[in-house]
Amino acid sequence: MTSLLWLRQDLRLHDHPALTAAAHAGAVIPVYVLDDEAPGAWRMGGAQRWWLHHSLTPLSKSLKEKGSKLILRRGNAAEVLADLATETGAETIHAIRHYEPWWRKLEDALGDRLCLHDGNHLAPPEQVTTGSGGQYRIYSSFWKALQQQLPPDDPLPMPRSIPAPDTWPKSDRLADWNLLPTSPDWSGGFDWTPGEAAALAKVKSLDINDYDTARNMPSQEGSSRLSPHLHFGEVSPRTVWQATGRGDTTFRKELAWRDFTSGVIRALPRYGEENGRPAFDKLPWRTGAEARRDLKAWQQGRTGYPIVDAGMRQLWTTGWMHNRVRMITASFLIKHLLIDWREGERWFWDTLVDADYGNNAVNWQWVAGTGVDANMFGRIMAPLSQSAKFDAGDYIRQWVPELAGLADDVIHDPEGAGCRPRDYPAPLIGHREARERALAAGRKVR
């Protein structure tokens, strides 16, 4: 019997339940479908497309080493897979379950021929539910419930070989998909090595002994930098869990947060577009020419707030941003500039190599205070004091070279210290003024 293996955000051979099941049943035809139709507005962003190209290349090589082959097709995934099943005589389509709303619609469209497997979570969201069977909307309650189902099962081994069909269907050429930037090529600063081998090597070298502290220090390499590998499924969460042993609980809770956000978008599929708290539909976001100017300055890292500008320039250059700085830059856009969180979410979607629908939406709404589990809108991060508190001087020097010559005691706030260089912009707005404006807007929601 021949089966199709539908690959999406699970670009690996190790700990792949759908692959294991398909290989046990008979011949396997691995397929990746580039579907720019079904996601609609959530079509994969530019940075993700760069990663996808460089992830599919080693995956194709790994499959070849196992006696198999990666088939590439483009179009509506449900239609492409249905046609391919008819063409090859495949009776079953094996796949790992996904929770983004467009993937769920495609899964429904494939009907009974699709056999779904769990494999991208510590525990399937369907299993971690409230007493009434609903998804948890408060992370602390979710974490408490999830722990009752931990540790996860041991990862499945990589198959020694993959049964091949007698004949292979035609495949697109990856180069013809034009996933990589052309003119201008903005990916020159991307210092990543996508693919399963790189992901497993990173897991093997993990050091999380000081993670709880180091992850908050922008000038240190305290993050695992596993997020894009996890997003594209080049390594499974339970593989990472097993590798951490009895390590830092904070790190493991970050893995659990990914599971939590999948549960949120399972319950609220439009969470990336709609406020989790409808009362915030009344919040008077700034619009118009001045707001658009400020949004562009934020995107380009020209706000006059060094920690914010360093983060936004790191994002554009590398396709990634330090976790603590993500919160600071998001809070600045929402609270200081009073610009709709969805503008920032969309920018991150296009520029982050690890842009994930659930994570991105839940994190932005957490900062905005508009979500089901979120900070109060009135909690406004102070970027200048946050920069000093987390010792971001060297981080700023790396990404904002105009300030590289400033001393530690003034680099966080050169305007306030009276030593702002001429080639560095003045702050778009003062912190106190921004705070008062945000609080006034928040009062209108109440």
Q: The domain 278-445 belongs to what CATH superfamily?
A: DNA Cyclobutane Dipyrimidine Photolyase, subunit A, domain 3 (1.10.579.10)
Q: What average pLDDT does range 70-74 have in this prediction? A: 98
Enumerate the β-bridge partners of residue 31.
6, 71
Query: Is pLDDT at 245 greater than 80 in this prediction?
Result: no
**Annotated catalytic residue 316:** no
State the catalytic residue, choosing from 254, 298, 343, 363.
254
Is residue 28's pLDDT more than 70? yes
Catalytic pick among 341, 349, 366, 399: 341
Catalytic residue among 257, 274, 402, 415: 257
The pLDDT > 70 percentage for the chain reads 99
Catalytic residue at 298?
Answer: no
- Please calculate the CA angle 323-325-330 and round it to the nearest 5 degrees: 100
pLDDT, one tens digit per residue, over 250-280 is 899 999 999 999 999 999 999 999 999 999 9
Active-site residue, 103 included: no
Q: How many C-beta neighbours within 10 Å does residue 298 have?
A: 24
> What pLDDT does residue 389 have?
95
- As a CATH number, domain 1-119 is 3.40.50.620
pLDDT score of 221 more than 90: no
Among 110-114, 214-218, 269-273, 290-294, the minimum mean pLDDT is found in 214-218
Q: What is the pLDDT of residues 301-358, one digit of tens each?
A: 999 999 999 999 999 999 999 999 999 999 999 999 999 999 999 999 999 999 999 9
Residue 92's DSSP bridge partners are 3
Entry pTM: 0.96
Structure tokens at 216: 């908050």
Catalytic choice (42, 76, 323, 402): 323
Neighbouring CB atoms inside 10 A of 173's CB total 7
Beta-carbon neighbour count of residue 91 at 10 Å? 14
Taking residues 143-169, report their average pLDDT: 96
Phi, psi of 95 (to 5 degrees): -160, 155
pLDDT > 90 fraction of the chain, expressed in percent and rounded: 91
In the set 192, 364, 366, 399, the catalytic residue is: 364
What is the pLDDT, as a whole number, of residue 247? Answer: 61
Quick check: 40 and 80 in contact, CB under 8 A? no
pLDDT above 90: residue 210 = no
pLDDT value of position 209 = 80
Decide if 88 contacts 29 (C-beta within 8 A). yes
Region 68-88: mean pLDDT is 98
Q: Is a pLDDT exceeding 80 seen at residue 376?
A: yes
Q: What is the mean pLDDT of the chain?
A: 96
> Active-site residue 366, yes or no?
no
Q: Which of 42, 177, 186, 285 is catalytic?
A: 285
Whether residue 328 contacts residue 345, with contact meaning beta carbons closer than 8 Å, is answered with no
The predicted pLDDT at position 303 comes to 98
Show the tokens assigned to 170: 């035609």
pLDDT confidence band for 212 (50 / 70 / 90): confident
- Would the pLDDT of 238 be above 90? yes
Residue 347 among the catalytic residues: no
Q: How sure is the predictor about 248, in pLDDT bands with cuts at 50, 70 and 90?
A: low
Class of domain 121-152+197-267: mainly alpha
Domain ranges within the chain, ordered by starting residue = 1-119, 121-152+197-267, 278-445
CA 8 remoteness from chain centre: 14
Would you place residue 246 in the very low, low, confident or very high pLDDT band (cuts 50, 70, 90)? Answer: low
The whole-number pLDDT of residue 259 equals: 97
| For residue 120, pLDDT beyond 90 | yes
Burial of 221 (0-12, 13-18, 19+ CB in 10 A): exposed
Q: What is the pLDDT of residue 381?
A: 93
Let me know if 241 is a catalytic residue. no
